[in-house]
Chains A and B, each alone.
Chain A
């Protein structure tokens, strides 16, 4: 721009844009030879203005500024050069430059009217009163759970006129906003395939801020796309257990026949015999119910089902998954010769506080998951059964005291995540079961009966260590007791104060090879006492001792490519006060070969010791001194394979064999606290002795389908379980021997949040000891039965069809779920316990449940 002259003064106030005021004046210009008068030069006139964008930072801080520019406008009116000569910072400079570069001008002209190139001073002043005004804003939440939704597209459409639709995407807080929306009526819509929502009417009024909260219903996964049968991938297992069956809590809660209880679903898995009356007893791989253990996060609990077996003592919403180990588990677990069921609690922090209230035929529950911070959560659960309250009016006129179970439980869970320091969580579980008396109570029987209570506080710290190691430390304390009170001052109880410590360090083997380690200390201790002062139980006996049972275990894992060998050993010691000290060493070996990404072959063998209870070791009332008992144990062997199949299907087949040694026989049957119907099996009432042996063997098959809408499986257990006591030279069938157990079930989700499911079960009838003949005692007018061969007869086979329907209604701020679980739809009569008529000439039996509709309601907020 040579030959130009400096501009002596501001010569023009140019324009006002949407958010800035521009002041310009001429600095220099190019002259034509024939031009005579610089005063005749005119400023360029804007013909296309680009509005500068008010910088976000400045807008947030409420800053105003003026940016001084020098721009060159050529003869065609284009901005060919621009620079900041008076910067303002805070993003103003860039915003001003970006805007001006795209401006177009009517070029400046000289006195002869010819276009000339000029340099002008061009000040852009940013003022807040000219910034865009947000006049519509809102928050998008997920309907039913009220969780804010991030990254979801929203659209504001005018209901009339030609105003274009405006779009936005929700931020981390679920918020969205629009500025300078003209007055009028609009509709807010969701632009996201994952959600569905009705349009929300929005009325924009001049000078007012319109705020709106919208709720979107999250579509089920299969509703998102056009392929409703798309399946989820089979996830390879990463745990050392050779036979481990996991059930996600959210899946099993809707299975038919479960009443929404997560643990009852385990009964549908292979390896579990059918329990009478649909109760919660777990009979695993031909072992007795008392041979199996239940744990919450690895720590044993004395009672996992409430009386009646209908409900698990821990609220299923606290659980992440249920893990079923029918046998051949690793050395991390010990002290039992049957199977194990582990309940694993959630440790996540919810996005927001939520909860529910539920009611069903048996109980009412209240649950809350409270978000204290982004790292800390508190969960509270309370449940109370009301079977007694429902039935009490029915039996109001009865003179006979009729007992019904009454229970309540509560859990308090606190989770705190510590960055770099792992997770600390505490779980308090309290449970109280008792039988209450219905109707009139002329004998004051309400103070009598069976009471089982426990309280446990468990604190766990899981943290990462250096070099790939991780650590888990658990501490549990709490009392537990079961008590039986009868007339005439008779009572019986067993009490224990649990003080359990578990410390474990783990390093996983590398995926491609190497050695992994698991080392742990498992300590159980505490005072135990018992007293049996019941005439039917025999002579009075009691005892008290401090029992300490430390265990050490080590489990190296060797991995060579697809081959994994786990060789563990567990050493247990138990000291029953000064009465007796016992120990055991249980070596266990497991082999897993990943033949292909979809096929795994596995085998395992191990020893599983199960110490006698303190009561069995205490001096016998007959004065025999300390009973000289050895530790019963089992040799468990299993071999099988897992096969992942297309379309979300999988197949698992396992053959197992369990040999039982040194089993304790004797008067246990008389002393056991029955919370389920006694089986009527023959009782060996003699002194305890290790005179029993046993054996169980069989084949388990599990075929599963897990798709987005469908959960289904077929399980089969074929097996045999025998026992040999001291009353016979020949083995007899175990009380719960069921050679064939079949379960087929599915749960399928329909549109509009309907879900249906059905279950078909078949099981061979339990064996029983038949009545060969009887003697009629004329003085008492009663028949005395004479047993035939032990367990030489069998009850008729059991089969039933159960169906379930779920429906969920999602409202803005809460959701309502209804379910109807109908057991034994065909009302098939099945005998559960053998009984006879008065003269034992006919087998009558106590039948199982008739058709039983169970319904429930649950409101989530």
Chain B
């Protein structure tokens, strides 16, 4: 709000790697929907991209839950339907999951009434996809979904409410053992001839070895995107890079002082809901 001089003075940054590029624990690094722009009645594939520095057994869950405005918010998700749908229609659960968890969904036709331009858009908050990664047993909501209560039952309603309002239960989940991410998708009418697509992400130069402390360039090509690089150690010099129109963009990664493998994750976002993920490993000598 109001600049304060000491904060400003103390805020002088050094020239080392940006600490925001280092992932120290469990994190959902991206949700990649394909296509990233959907219409009612479409089928959609969603990948939940997870990074876990610690390793070990994790559970991953993803779900569509577009909360409606006003009091409807407490009723849960628009995807749950005017008549109760099975949870599996809008959720995906993976036990002891890998780095990528994929779910396929069908966008309910009745959401067409909420499409902007059809006169009832005020109540619509763009379709939201949630991605949750938890160490096994840390998130009771995953167990509740896995139990797959009967649609319309009290348990089902309770689960849907929880999916619609994660802030109700998230404070009770250990922060270090969980990561919840949210992605807003582009929503369009069925007759829209143009649909956005996910941007490409090509590694032009991706070294696999580096000396300790060395600053290593990584070169990528993509579309008009913002590039967010992450590393399990060392760190990229900037937290984000801009890229345009397929021109190469160079990311500077500084290797840590200690030797060993370092995992890298590069995510691009086109600000239209489109995303892509690149993963790699560098051995520090």
The reply to whether B173 and A677 form a contact with Cβ atoms under 8 Å apart is: no
Kindly provide the distance from the CB of A533 to the nearest chain B CB, expressed in whole angstroms: 14
| Given A403-B5, A674-B2, A841-B176, residue A778 in contact with residue B171 (CB < 8 A) | no
Q: Which of A773, A776, A778 has the most CB of B within 10 A?
A: A778
* Chain A CB within 8 A of B178 CB: yes
The reply to whether B171 and A775 form a contact with Cβ atoms under 8 Å apart is: no
CA gap between A277 and B10 in the complex, in Å: 12
- Measured CB to CB, the nearest residue on chain B to A776 is B181
Interface residues of B toward A: which range?
A: 35 or more
Kindly provide the distance from the CB of A101 to the nearest chain B CB, expressed in whole angstroms: 86
A734-782 interface (Cβ within 8 A of B): 771-779, 781
The reply to whether A673 and B170 form a contact with Cβ atoms under 8 Å apart is: no
The reply to whether B175 and A402 form a contact with Cβ atoms under 8 Å apart is: no
The reply to whether A778 and B173 form a contact with Cβ atoms under 8 Å apart is: no
B21-62 interface (Cβ within 8 A of A): 23-25, 27-28, 30-31
Candidates B6, B166, B179, B180; contact of A677 at CB < 8 Å: B6
Interface residues of A toward B: which range?
A: 35 or more
Chain B residue numbers with a CB within 8 Å of A842 are 24
CA gap between A841 and B174 in the complex, in Å: 10
* Chain B CB within 8 A of A435 CB: yes
Contact with A along B146-175 (1 / 0, CB 8 A): 000000000000000000001100111101
Chain B residue numbers with a CB within 8 Å of A838 are 19-20, 239
Kindly provide the distance from the CB of B184 to the nearest chain A CB, expressed in whole angstroms: 5
A369-414 interface (Cβ within 8 A of B): 387, 391, 402-405
The reply to whether A402 and B180 form a contact with Cβ atoms under 8 Å apart is: no
Kindly provide the distance from the CB of A404 to the nearest chain B CB, expressed in whole angstroms: 5
The reply to whether B2 and A484 form a contact with Cβ atoms under 8 Å apart is: yes
Candidates B24, B170, B184, B239; contact of A841 at CB < 8 Å: B24
CA gap between A450 and B3 in the complex, in Å: 9
Contact with A along B226-241 (1 / 0, CB 8 A): 1010000000000110
Kindly provide the distance from the CB of B166 to the nearest chain A CB, expressed in whole angstroms: 7
- Measured CB to CB, the nearest residue on chain A to B275 is A778
Chain A residue numbers with a CB within 8 Å of B173 are 773
| Given A773-B175, A774-B175, A779-B269, residue A449 in contact with residue B180 (CB < 8 A) | no
Candidates A308, A773, A781, A846; contact of B240 at CB < 8 Å: A781
Kindly provide the distance from the CB of B139 to the nearest chain A CB, expressed in whole angstroms: 11
The reply to whether B178 and A773 form a contact with Cβ atoms under 8 Å apart is: yes
Kindly provide the distance from the CB of B196 to the nearest chain A CB, expressed in whole angstroms: 13
The reply to whether A405 and B5 form a contact with Cβ atoms under 8 Å apart is: yes
Kindly provide the distance from the CB of A111 to the nearest chain B CB, expressed in whole angstroms: 112
* Chain B CB within 8 A of A811 CB: no
Kindly provide the distance from the CB of B274 to the nearest chain A CB, expressed in whole angstroms: 11
The reply to whether B171 and A841 form a contact with Cβ atoms under 8 Å apart is: no
The reply to whether B183 and A779 form a contact with Cβ atoms under 8 Å apart is: yes
The reply to whether B179 and A449 form a contact with Cβ atoms under 8 Å apart is: no
* Chain B CB within 8 A of A543 CB: no
The reply to whether B271 and A779 form a contact with Cβ atoms under 8 Å apart is: yes
* Chain B CB within 8 A of A678 CB: yes
B262-285 interface (Cβ within 8 A of A): 269, 271, 273, 275
- Measured CB to CB, the nearest residue on chain B to A838 is B20
* Chain B CB within 8 A of A840 CB: yes
Chain B residue numbers with a CB within 8 Å of A678 are 1, 4
* Chain B CB within 8 A of A536 CB: yes
| Given A674-B1, A786-B170, A841-B25, residue A775 in contact with residue B6 (CB < 8 A) | no
Residues of A within 8 A of B (CB): 277, 307-308, 387, 391, 402-405, 435, 449-450, 484, 536, 673-678, 771-779, 781, 786-788, 837-842, 846-847
Q: A403-B4, A678-B4, A773-B171 are in contact. List 7 more A-B contacts (CB 8 A).
A: A771-B175, A776-B27, A781-B269, A838-B19, A838-B239, A839-B23, A841-B175
3 closest A-B pairs by CB:
A772-B171, A776-B181, A838-B20
